[in-house]
Structure 1
Amino acid sequence: MGVQTQEYATTASVSPTRLFKAMSIDFHNLFPKIVEVIKSIELTEGTGAAGTIKKLSIIEGGETKYVLHRVDELDEAKFVYNFSIIGGTGLADTLEKVSFKSQLVEGPNGGSIRNVHVDYFTKGDYNLSEEELKASQAKVEGLVKLVDGYLLANPDY
């Protein structure tokens, strides 16, 4: 097994408190409403704290797949949300798991910066291509921007 690492930061217009609530605390309720490919998110173990397993059902290429999302750390005071994709039909055959470590910090003009560290645990000697890494980063950054837009349009959320 190999490990490839990626780090990046994504800016958002809303405060870390609001973005953290939407992307970490209320993730399982909000994302199926605003992310077209997510059909449902159900808690299969736990209540949302560290150790919780969530099953995300997604529609990809016209077929329903799922990934298992394990909460590794949740620290509301420090805006830290760490999780791993640990299995499911939506996890690429070349990967054992993918671990995300993220922290929100205050950004300019009352906004946020979401710092992300990703470890891709690959099977055998497989190496993710630069295109695969860029595509993964683009998906995550797209989700942040989608949530940011939703929060801007729904100030009472």
Structure 2
Amino acid sequence: METVGPPYAPLGPDASLSAGIQRFHARQMHLLDSGEAEAWAATFTEDGLFAPPSLPEPVRGRAALAAGVRKAHEELAAEGEARRHLLTTAAVGDPEPDGSVRVRSYVQVVATRRDEAPKLLLMCVCEDVLVVEDGEWRVRERYVTRDDRP
């Protein structure tokens, strides 16, 4: 049997960059799903922008980001629903000249109500611009689009 090449690309110098961003995203999604609004908002730059498809205008700044998460988490808890954001297949770009990194990933949002089976609520594409501040990754810009909307 002839082989065409290795079954996977060897890990290059960008492997640690991708691993660090994967850890960042995992922590960020856990904070969001746990309703830790201030801690989640702190994963954005002070003037960070979040443009989800559920809002008519983007949200800018940590205070507004935290307020939105706090309100949404309280409403979901009152309805007996838990949401989980599964961020996967992150394609990490090369660092830009200013040090920022663009990351494109898929996000599945799973909703579970008490005594009901989980259901896939949304399938989205997430486009991030990440920067390092004080030795930590932060989101400078996040744009989210839904697969079921043009």
Q: TM-score, normalised by structure 2?
A: 0.32
Q: Which has the larger radius of gyration?
A: 2
Q: TM-score, normalised by structure 1?
A: 0.31
Q: Which protein has greater RCO, CA pairs closer than 8 Å, 6+ apart?
A: 1
